[in-house]
Amino acid sequence: MPTGIHLRDARKQLFDAAERILVRDGPNALTSRAVTTEADCAKGVLHRHFTDFDGFLAELVLDRIARLETQAAELREAVGTRTVADNLTEALTSLFSSVAVAIISLITFRDELRARLRRDRPAGVPLLTEAAAMLAGYLAAERERGRVAADADVDLLAPMLLGSSHLLFADRTGVPPTTEAVHKMVTSALAGVVREPRS
């Protein structure tokens, strides 16, 4: 006899359940049984919507990458407003306050998941690669406006900002870094590059 509740949007509810487990318990705790229990649905629901559990996890990562498009659009809209450091602080805090750190751990933890993701994304670490492109695109747009130095290597600055942010946010058991701590890291990374008063 089926157990659990009827799912109107099974994919979303299963993804949300997986993200809660990842953030709360880490990648070791993420199993198909844990996901369906967390989503309060029958065990077979996941396998009706996905070929297998690694297929589910790959779709979870791709869904998270797709969400970056919205954030990238918001960051593009911010070009020329406030300060470069303020815009980047908000973007990085939003990125890493989400489940992104846990997703990165998951990708690192599961060999089969990495192999599946490599079929479509042969270079870089999925999610981080797209986030780096988002930051580089923003910095390039600010460079065109003269708010970032003309000789700034935005393709180097973007992963540097990501790596530094990841280290700030990586401890899921502790208190997340303050906005001030993220802002200080951003202003330090951009020292000598930004052509505007720093807040």
Domain boundaries, the chain: 65-189
Q: Partners of 148 in the beta sheet?
A: 194
What is the percentage of the chain residues whose pLDDT exceeds 90?
A: 51
Rounded (to 5) percent helix, strand, coil in the chain = 70, 0, 30
User: Which carries the bigger pLDDT value, residue 119 or residue 186?
Assistant: 186
Q: Classify residue 11 as exposed, middle or buried by CB count within 10 Å of its CB (0-12, 13-18, 19+).
A: middle
Which range has the worst mean pLDDT, 4-18, 26-40, 52-66, 169-183? 4-18
Residue 29, SS3? helix
pLDDT computed for residue 197 by the predictor:
55
Dump pLDDT digits (tens) for 143-195: 999 999 999 999 999 999 999 998 888 865 667 889 999 999 999 999 989 98
pLDDT computed for residue 113 by the predictor:
87
- Contact criterion met (CB below 8 Å) for 152 and 93: no
Which CATH number is correct for 65-189, 1.10.357, 3.30.700, 1.10.287, 2.40.360?
1.10.357
